Copies of this chain bind each other. A is one copy, B any other.
Amino acid sequence: MLSYTEENYLKALLRITFENGSEQVGTNELANVLVVKPATVNDMLKKLKEKELVEYKKYGKITLTANGRKNAIEVLRKHRLWETFLYEKFDFTWDEVHEVAEQLEHIQSGKLIDKLDKFLDYPQFDPHGDPIPNKKGEIKVNFKKTLSDVEVGNSCRMVAVKDNSSSFLQYVVKVGLGINNEIKVLSKQEYDALLVIEVNGVKSSVSQKFAENIFVVCQNCIIGKTCSKTKCEIEK
């Protein structure tokens, strides 16, 4: 059984791994994320190494073991399921869910999580558009890509906007776009990256600048299988 604190260390390691697109994590980096001193991280690392949850050598980088990763993903799964629950069932806003989910993610009960998952009808993404690991520990890819990262021929789903100016938002509406809309990228101009997209059967042309301000997720890849940080190798 892992302590509340140990779980947080593993979760932070996983998060950094995702953000960096690399398995290698530094002591200071981890200390920053957890808001503790590097010395503290060092102590904990010894314990986690002892328990075979991380691998690291003196002055080297930290990586999660398979078992450490499994535990971290389990915590992440709980966190994101609870966020989804709070958002959908209890009218919490985007900014409110995180803090409470930080606490709820440590509740120990397999049955509770299974029931929660079922209750929410097995959601794949949390309210922030981040993917929820499934029971097997598989995670759909979501690197906070923008529409401009999507390859020609592929589809994605809009989850958020980067620019919140009203002029931009009005433009978004005009194109017929909204949260959760499926967007297919039909073509991309080589010269200026002008995109032709299709939303609800309607085709539109949008500039690169526009595309860079639309956050999307691609729902078809599992981390570690076919996707990298910048490129998403979908076969639909």
Which residues of A are interface residues toward B (Cβ below 8 A)? 86, 89-92, 96, 99-100, 103-104, 106-109, 111-112, 115-116, 119
Contact A90 B116 (CB under 8 A): yes
Could you say which of B92, B100, B109 contacts A100, with CB atoms under 8 Å apart?
Answer: B109
The main secondary structure of chain A at its interface with chain B is helix
Chain B residues, CB < 8 A from A89: 115, 119
The answer to whether A107 touches B104 (Cβ under 8 A) is yes
Q: Determine if A108 and B115 form an interchain contact, defined as CB atoms under 8 angstroms apart.
A: no
Whether A90 contacts B115 by the Cβ 8 Å rule is yes
A67 to chain B, nearest CB (A): 23
Contact of A107 among B92, B100, B108 (CB under 8 A): B100
Q: How far is the CB of A213 from chain B (nearest CB, A)?
A: 31
Nearest CB of B to A105, in Å: 11
Residues of B contacting A115 in the complex (Cβ-Cβ under 8 angstroms): 89-92
When A and B form their complex, which 10 residue pairs have the shortest distance between CB atoms, in order from nearest? Answer: A90-B115, A100-B109, A103-B107, A100-B112, A104-B107, A103-B108, A91-B115, A90-B112, A100-B107, A89-B119
Other 20 A-B pairs with CB < 8 A, given A103-B107, A103-B108? A86-B112, A89-B115, A89-B119, A90-B111, A90-B112, A90-B115, A90-B116, A90-B119, A92-B111, A92-B115, A96-B111, A99-B109, A100-B107, A100-B109, A100-B111, A100-B112, A103-B106, A103-B109, A104-B104, A104-B107
